[in-house]
Amino acid sequence: MAFRSGQFAMANDLSALILSADSLHDGRGVAVPGAALVIAAGRIVEATTLEQAAKRYPEAAREHFPDATIVPGLIDLHGYLSIEPDRPDPMRQMFGSNHFERAWVTAKHLRRNLQAGITTIRVMGEGHGLDFAARDAVRSGLLAGPDLVVSGVPIAPTNSHQSDKVGFDGVDAVRQAVRANLRAGADCIKLVLTGGVNAAGNSARTLIYSEAEIAVAVEEATRAGCYVAAAAHGGEAIATAMRLGVRMIEHGALLDEDGAEQIQKHGGYLVATPARFFHPEGIEKSASKSPAIMQRLMAARQMQDRVMPLALRSGLKVALGSDNMHGLLYYDASCLVRWGASPVAALHAATGMAAEAALLADRGVLKAGCRADLMVVSGEAARDVGALANVQRVMKEGCWVEA
């Protein structure tokens, strides 16, 4: 059986769980009918057939889900904690001074994401150390939610849409900002290279950091063994970032053919966030009273609808992020299918490809040794990615999540 991987560790039959369903998607682009997982101590011990699992672990507990698919827990590579999508000025929420309110909103969003099958979120910016505190609270069991991979304060110049009152201007300031985030425990570095689609003028295509500032961020991150993810929508920012060693582009809402080619040329990744642009509860709702923003949103939609099918056919490596559309990563996956990806490829983008992009070797795939992060969805997800919205159960590190 091509899917089967070797035994990771012998599990005690009494503590092991054999989990099976009519279908299984392994997170590496392979759909397997009738496969089973052996789970113990929060890890996947073996991926095999139900028959073989029963022989190896005759006393293990068993759970079978008919008319369902087991898939890896989803990995959201561009999420936030304290931002409500329908409130104005999201970046002011990120840097808000009412820490009680931000903590309450964070707990609400974490529960929503986990119940939607998202078992890992990479948080792409929070002020006042909220992301570090939330990560520690989740890992200690104080707070229920996905595991958090954090980037700290977004590194952006003064007056950009993701800066606090004062940003980071010049090579020395960028260097110190990267070092401060790393010292606080950041897993990666977020660098803001363009304005947003909902910002005035043509700022979403305008590069707002110099090459020297970008280069020093990459230098410092690389020295610390991590990477830079750049928030950029289009224009010269994408080619410049790729040439200077940035690992991935976030959003790319105005990505053109040349930008997609540059990402591929340099072995990079695109973290697409289509729900923010296409879902009616996204920018469309918050911009309903601003004709200028709606015009820019429509342009971004048209650009993505034109370029993304070409990029996917060319083999661009695409992962997904929900932005601040909490719990809607399944919608992002459905957008990939609408652009021509197969359901299996869309599932891969939200699982194994996301893990590869973010250097998360212990999750995103259902193989021996990985975290037992997974979910069970009704239907056959390898044929209909919409099944991701029909969550039956969610497991994180071998434990079922309470509804």
Mean pLDDT of the chain: 92
Return the residue matching tokens 């590496």: 28
What are the two backbone dihedrals, phi and then psi, of residue 318, each rounded to the nearest 5 degrees? -120, 130
DSSP 371-394: B--EEEEES-TTT-GGGGGSEEEE
Cβ-count burial of 201 within 10 angstroms (0-12 exposed, 13-18 middle, 19+ buried)? exposed
Return the residue matching tokens 């056919």: 313
Angle at 368 between CA 40 and CA 395, to 5 degrees: 50
Would the pTM of this model clear 0.75, i.e. be above it?
Answer: yes
What distances in angstroms separate CA 212 from CA 116, 163, 174, 237, 359, one per listed residue? 41, 19, 10, 13, 26
pLDDT tens column, 24-73: 999 988 888 889 999 999 999 999 999 999 999 999 999 999 999 999 99
- Report the alpha-carbon distance of residue 274 to residue 329 in Å, rounded: 9
pLDDT tens column, 185-239: 999 999 999 998 877 666 899 999 999 999 999 999 999 999 999 999 999 999 9
Q: Count the neighbouring beta carbons within 10 Å of the beta carbon of residue 400.
A: 12
What distances in angstroms separate CA 25 from CA 14, 239, 319, one per listed residue? 26, 34, 17
* pLDDT the model gives residue 30: 82
Domains of the chain plus CATH, in order, are: 17-72+365-400 (2.30.40.10), 74-326 (3.20.20.140)
Strand partners, 71: 375
Per-residue confidence at 247, pLDDT binned at 50, 70, 90? very high
The set of residues, in sequence order, having a beta carbon less than 8 Å from that of 305 and lying 6+ positions away, is 339
- Greater confidence, 79 or 162? 79
Does the pLDDT of residue 8 top 50, yes or no?
Answer: no
Q: Count the neighbouring beta carbons within 10 Å of the beta carbon of residue 388.
A: 26
- Greater confidence, 31 or 184? 184
Does the pLDDT of residue 289 top 60, yes or no?
Answer: yes
* pLDDT the model gives residue 298: 94
What single letter denotes the amino acid at residue 102? R
Contact 171, 213 (CB under 8 A): yes
Cβ-count burial of 165 within 10 angstroms (0-12 exposed, 13-18 middle, 19+ buried)? exposed
pLDDT tens column, 365-401: 999 999 999 999 999 999 999 999 999 999 999 999 9
The set of residues, in sequence order, having a beta carbon less than 8 Å from that of 205 and lying 6+ positions away, is 194, 233, 234, 235, 237, 254
* pLDDT the model gives residue 163: 87
Q: Count the neighbouring beta carbons within 10 Å of the beta carbon of residue 180.
A: 14
Does the pLDDT of residue 7 top 60, yes or no?
Answer: no
Contact 391, 112 (CB under 8 A): no
